[in-house]
Amino acid sequence: MKTTTLDRNAAAAAALAALLPSATKLKATMLDSSDAPTVPLSESAVATFVGETSADVAVVLTDPEAMKVASGTDSALVSLGDVLRPALEGAVEALGSGVLGDVEVRDASALFADPDTVVYVLAGRGAPTGWFAIRIRDAGVITGATKPEGSVSNRLGRISNVEMALTVEIGRTRLSIRDLLNLEPGAVIELDRSAGAPADVLLNGRLIAHGEIVVIDQDYAVRITKILDVAEGLG
């Protein structure tokens, strides 16, 4: 059976609702075009997923502090984005393999208002806890958007000087909130990669190459050892 965009949206929303820290079981229900969130969208958790199916996602909550408490912490060291990231990662798993970028707390009004965005209300016991917005992109382009011939987006030379974030990652690990709060100077965090293994080079959160860490004039640098093609980068 062919999976439609609507099916992927629904699967992502259901996964998010199941993983959100909440005292009650949440259910995701798609809103019709006449409905809208009843809370300001300026404090939304927003992220971009790049993969087999790319998408922009956002969550806005009626009571963010209550969500942080339900997750087991109300520490100022843990942001709302940190609390919601596991649920957002679970949501985008429904879209296939890929990389979820940083979860930022910012205004998501434009995303919620976009006609290509599908919005779900997250409710438990009938009361809305929040809203989830997802805008699926096709090969990195917003679904349904058209590019007129000769437009700026088709003339890549005009954006050749645009700066992008290049990140070098030597490993990852997962910590419970309890372990995170117990960190202190001198603590050692073990990563999921052995010494000497290649580092990952990510462009705006997307894996594009492997390299090795070197030191040049007392500064760290990375020597590129392999450039990945699209399929390898998404694997």
Q: What is the DSSP secondary-structure string of 122-153?
A: EEETTEEEEEEEEEEEETTEETT----TT-GG
Does residue 154 lie within any of the structural domains? no
The pTM for the full model equals 0.59
123 shares a domain with 207? no
Distance CA 105, CA 200 (A): 26
What's the one-letter identity of residue 183? L
Which segments of the chain does DSSP mark as H helices, in order?
5-19, 64-70, 80-92, 109-113, 177-181, 230-234
pLDDT digits (tens, 9 = 90+) for 84-97: 888 999 999 988 88
- Going by C-alpha positions, the residue among 86, 50, 41, 83 that lies closest to residue 164 is 50
Q: In terms of residue numbers, what domain contains 24?
A: 5-142
- What local confidence, expressed as pLDDT, does residue 220 receive? 85
Dist. CA 28–CA 91, nearest whole Å: 12
Three-class SS state of 71: coil
- Indicate the pLDDT class of residue 3, thresholds 50, 70 and 90: low
Predicted local confidence at residue 56, as pLDDT: 92
Asked whether residue 190 is domain-assigned, the answer is yes
Q: What is the CATH number of the domain that holds 191?
A: 2.30.330.10
Residue 132: half-sphere exposure toward Cβ, Cα within 13 Å: 30
Q: How would you classify the pairing of strands 206-216 and 199-203?
A: antiparallel
| 12 band by pLDDT with thresholds 50, 70 and 90 | very high
- 10 and 125 fall within a common domain: yes
> Could you give the number of structural domains in the chain?
2
